[in-house]
Amino acid sequence: MGSEINDRTVQDNKELVLEVEDLIVHYVLQEETVEAVNGVSFSLERGKTIGLVGETGAGKTTTALAIMNLVPDPPGVIKNGTITVCGHKMLDLSANQLEKIRGKDVSMIFQDPMTSLNPVLTVGDQIAESVMLHENLSYSKAFKRAQEMLEMVGIPGTRATEYPHQFSGGMKQRVGIAIALACNPKLLLADEPTTALDVTIQAQVLDMIDDLKRELGTALVMITHDLGIVAKTCDLVAVMYAGRIVEYGTLEDVFDRTMHPYTEGLFNSLPDISNRKSQLQPIPGLMPDPTNLPRGCAFAPRCRYATAACREEQPSRREVSETHTVYCSAYDDPNFQIERTRGRGGNG
């Protein structure tokens, strides 16, 4: 990743919309410190989608909030890292400058549509608000734009004067998407946008995000724990565990040429629809306590390939190919393969 970022010509061609480098975010509470994000780096080009995958508590949402510089403070503290959104160093900006970027260059769709809309403002006003702030339009023009945005997400524009409680969950999430896209952001952060929705609505919402992304050329960070959504929407995948990226690569790299034991575990814990009698294979154990992370690889206690060395020191970084990176010390042994790849007859 690193070498590409510094290369001017590459940057001009591909136009990096987001760069996160060595991000560390802790939540400092009175008795303990929650180490939520511990050195995350990735970057995203214009129009591309990266999936941040991992269990609850892996630091996905915190990473997204840090990109907006919206980590709740207190207790959140961004200890280290640089975040560049469309050329703006988000962590160095004043509150005033941030307000100009949030909602315009980067915006976010939140996980729970039931609580993320303001109950006492009409949905039209909530969409129009960011248009008025960022494009200096009059209220009537902004409201008109809000109605267009509603139409775009499949809600009749006449309903702009209604309040969130008059909409169903799926429609509220569409309103959330309309708010996020109102000013054509170059980067959209979607934090489990479909987790709170019915399965039937999930597909609709995902399709819509996908269409809009294509139409507007928006880069997307898709946060999810659902590998199906990743397969459907993402170009790149970053698998997160205990606040670190453990495997990073293109969709094909991670799905077809899986390297990390944790990623393997994620795939194994999916039900196999073609063999319904097969047992689910959950990953044994629980995520480590983020207030007390192990010294070595955080996944070692649950990893069936782990050796004594894994528990002692941080895993080594290995670039498998130009696009594919894995953080696992097991590959220090050149003959090591995880079972998933073994079953397919070798490393691709």
Partner 1 sequence: MLRYVIRRLLWLIPVLLCVSLLIYVLMDLAPGTVIDSMITEQMTPEDIEKLRQEYDLDKPVIYRYVKYMWGFFHGDLGKSQVTGLSVWDSFISRFPATLKLSLVSVVFGAVLAIPIGIFAAQRAGTIWDNLTTGFTLIGTSMPSFWLGLLLLILFAYKIQLFPAGGYQGPSSYVLPAITSGLMMTAITARQTRSSMLEVLRADYLRTARAKGVPERLVIRRHALKNAWIPILTTIGMGLSRFLAGSAVIETVFSWPGIGRLTVEAVSQRDVTLACGCVIMTSILYVIILLIVDLLYAFVDPRIRGKYASGSRKRKVTA
Q: Are 180 and 191 in contact (CB under 8 A)?
A: no
Position 179 contacts partner 1 (CB under 8 A): yes
Minimum CB separation of residue 4 from partner 1 in Å reads: 29
Does residue 93 belong to the site contacting partner 1 (CB under 8 A)? no
- 3-class DSSP state of 6: helix
Of 122 and 194, the one with the shorter C-beta distance to partner 1 is: 122
Closest CA to 85 of 32, 166, 170, 17: 17
Dist CA 269 CA 263 (whole Å): 10
Letters for 221-260 (x = contact with partner 1 by CB under 8 A, - = none) are: ----------------------------------------
- In the block, tokens 């160095």 appear at 92
Using CB under 8 A, which of the segments 82-90, 127-135, 141-149, 218-226 binds partner 1? 127-135
Answer whether 137's CB lies under 8 Å from 148's CB. no
Is there binding between residue 70 and partner 1 (CB under 8 A)? yes
Cβ-contact 81, 235 below 8 angstroms:
no
Binds partner 1 (CB under 8 A): choice among 119, 271, 282, 334 = 119
- Span near partner 1 by CB under 8 A; candidates 161-169, 256-264, 315-323, 325-333: 161-169
Q: Which is nearer to partner 1, 176 or 315 (CB)?
A: 176
Q: How far apart are the C-alpha atoms of 20 and 44, rounded to whole Å? A: 9
Report how far residue 180's alpha carbon sits from residue 108's, in angstroms, rounded to the nearest whole number.
6
CB of 238 to partner 1, least distance (A): 21
Q: Which of 60, 104, 145, 260 binds partner 1 (CB under 8 A)?
A: 104
Stretch that binds partner 1, among 10-18, 21-29, 96-104, 293-301 (CB under 8 A): 96-104
Q: Which of 166, 269, 292, 347 binds partner 1 (CB under 8 A)?
A: 166
216 makes contact with partner 1 (CB under 8 A): no
Q: In Å, what is the CA distance from 34 to each residue of 59, 91, 96, 223? A: 10, 20, 29, 20
The smaller minimum CB distance to partner 1, of residues 114 and 286, is found at 114
Handedness of CA 240, 242, 244, 247 (dihedral sign): negative
Full strand arrangement of the beta sheet holding 33-45: 33-45, 16-28, 76-85, 88-89
Stretch that binds partner 1, among 48-56, 99-107, 271-279, 329-337 (CB under 8 A): 99-107
CB 190 within 8 A of CB 220: yes
Neighbours of 92 (CB within 10 A): 11
Residue whose CB is less far from partner 1, 104 or 260: 104
Q: Given candidates 51, 54, 124, 170, which one binds partner 1 under the rule CB under 8 A?
A: 170
Least Å from the CB of residue 122 to partner 1: 8
Select from 44-52, 164-172, 226-234, 253-261 the region that touches partner 1 (CB under 8 A). Answer: 164-172
Question: What is the b/e burial string over 314-340, where b = at least 16 CB atoms within 10 angstroms of the residue's CB?
Answer: ebeebebeeebbbbbbbbeeeeebbeb
Q: Closest by alpha carbon to 91, among 44, 22, 35? A: 22
Three-state DSSP at 270 gives: coil
Note whether 287 binds partner 1 by CB under 8 A. no
How many Å from the N-terminal Cα to the C-terminal Cα in the chain? Answer: 20
Residue 101 or 208: the one with the smaller Cβ distance to partner 1 is: 101
Contacts with partner 1, residue ranges (CB under 8 A): 68, 70, 95-96, 98-104, 107-108, 110, 112, 115-122, 126, 129-130, 133-134, 162-163, 165-168, 170-171, 176, 179-180
